[in-house]
Amino acid sequence: MARWKPDARQRLVVEALTLFAEQGYDETTVAQIAERAGLTRSTFHRHFADKRDILSAGHETLSRLLAEGVAEAPADAAPLDAVAAGLDRASSSMTTFNRELSHLIEAAIAANDELRGRNAMKAVGMSAAMDDALVARGVAAPVARLAAEMGVVAFSTGFQRWVDPAVDDAPGELRDRTAAAFAELRAAAAMLADG
């Protein structure tokens, strides 16, 4: 079996998601994933603790990027502008690889109760990361929480528009989709104050 190829992590993700779609998450083993990827079980475990981690591997990175973007926004940035910076940072890191695999990830999650629960925690983690970064900037807790939640909704909306060919068969960049979704939410929030 091949070992230490530079694309081992991506190969493991692709093959795991393909197997999940073909035979179900519960029926798929780590050994099957490694074999299908042309790798060993030990190589699998260098990249992932278990097969659940394949579906949540990007969540921690995404939360970290959102928080870094918020933290690195200009010191005088308003809370929503700092969240916009976090969205830009995280969205810019997503590639066509993420887009192409999204339907396989969604199918695996939809077919498994445990995975649905773990996926719901993704939004909580993203929100908490931005909330903490905003509070560290001196933003009041209720304002930070609301701004972070708006950021999560914008990211989710932008991502769905990016991956759904029914919405647009020429998706462009994710950062454009999340920025547009966030602008829509900001406009809606302004209407709440006026209405």
Q: Round to whole Å and give the CA distance between 159 and 84.
A: 15
Q: Tens of pLDDT along 14-23?
A: 899 889 888 8
Q: Does 43 lie in the same domain as 62?
A: no
Q: Round to whole Å and give the CA distance between 114 and 88.
A: 30
pLDDT at 193: 73
CB 28 within 8 A of CB 37: no
Q: Tens of pLDDT along 95-123?
A: 888 888 888 888 888 888 877 887 778 88
Report the CATH number at residue 177.
1.10.357.10
What is the domain range of residue 96? 56-194
Interval 43-63 mean pLDDT = 86
Residue 1 lies in a domain: no
Residue 2 lies in a domain: no
Q: Does 131 lie in the same domain as 102?
A: yes
CB atoms < 10 A from the CB of 11, how many? 20
Report the CATH number at residue 29.
1.10.10.60
pLDDT at 173: 86
CB contact set of 27 (below 8 Å; sequence gap of 6+) = none
Residue 3 lies in a domain: no
Query: Model pTM?
Result: 0.81
Number of domains composing the chain: 2
